[in-house]
């Protein structure tokens, strides 16, 4: 039987090594953390799914994705403190009202708040010297989830 490449094996599977690996330093761990781009790509994906789930009447799923956005942005605030104040304002002024609209199944309020939040996010991209990032809701819903509830 062929042995798995070393990056797939447990350390204990490697009989040639008897010394444990040295502990990672904080600097090495920091390099492994996701960057702003990776986090914001996940935010964009969740934001997209939130809109189409709400439009399909799948309020629970829409709320799930809005909460995911909030959680990801809270992580970003920890990893990149320079964005923390703007992210907190965005949460308080945009995400909290959006979650309220979702919880009450208020489609018109959701649409208004969602559009405002998207505009605000794009303004923040400009503020933080990234004017080339302008998020737009895709015309098509995502294909990887059932976004509409059974009617």
Residue 8 lies in a domain: no
> Any idea what the CATH number is for the domain that residue 91 is in?
1.20.120
151 residues of the chain, pLDDT tens digit each: 566 666 666 655 555 656 778 888 888 888 889 999 999 999 999 999 999 999 999 999 999 999 999 999 999 999 999 999 999 999 999 999 999 999 999 999 999 999 999 999 999 999 999 999 999 999 999 999 888 876 5
Q: With beta carbons less than 8 A apart as the criterion, state whether 100 and 110 touch.
A: no
3-state SS of 81-144 is HHHHHHHHHHHHHHHHHHHHHHHCCCHHHHHHHHHHHHHHHHHHHHHCCCCCCCCCCCCCCCCC
* pTM (predicted TM-score): 0.83
Q: Could you count the other beta carbons within 10 Å of the beta carbon of residue 101?
A: 23
* Domain membership of residue 96 as a residue range: 34-127
Does residue 5 fall inside a structural domain?
Answer: no
Q: Which two tokens stand for residue 148?
A: 């509409």
Domain presence at residue 66: yes
Is the residue at 108 inside a domain?
yes
Q: How many CB atoms lie within 10 A of CB 53?
A: 26
The DSSP call for residue 10 is: -
Does residue 78 fall inside a structural domain? yes
Q: How far apart are CA 53 and CA 64, in angstroms?
A: 10
Answer yes or no: is 143 within a domain: no
Number of domains the chain contains: 1
Look at residue 147 in the predicted model and tell me its pLDDT: 84
């Amino acid at each position: 039987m062929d042995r798995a490449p070393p990056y797939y094996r447990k350390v204990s599977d490697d009989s040639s090594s008897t010394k444990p690996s040295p502990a990672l330093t904080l600097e090495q761990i920091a390099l492994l953390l996701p960057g702003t781009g990776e986090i914001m790509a996940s935010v964009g994906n969740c934001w997209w799914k939130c809109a189409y789930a709400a439009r399909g009447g799948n309020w629970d799923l829409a709320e799930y994705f809005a909460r995911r956005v909030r959680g990801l942005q809270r992580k970003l605030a920890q990893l990149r403190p320079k964005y923390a104040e703007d992210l907190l304002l965005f949460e308080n002024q945009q995400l909290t009202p959006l979650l309220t609209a979702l919880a009450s199944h208020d489609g018109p309020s959701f649409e208004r708040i969602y559009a405002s939040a998207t505009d605000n996010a794009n303004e923040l991209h400009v503020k933080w010297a990234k004017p080339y990032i302008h998020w737009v809701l895709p015309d098509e819903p995502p294909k990887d989830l059932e976004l509409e509830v059974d009617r």
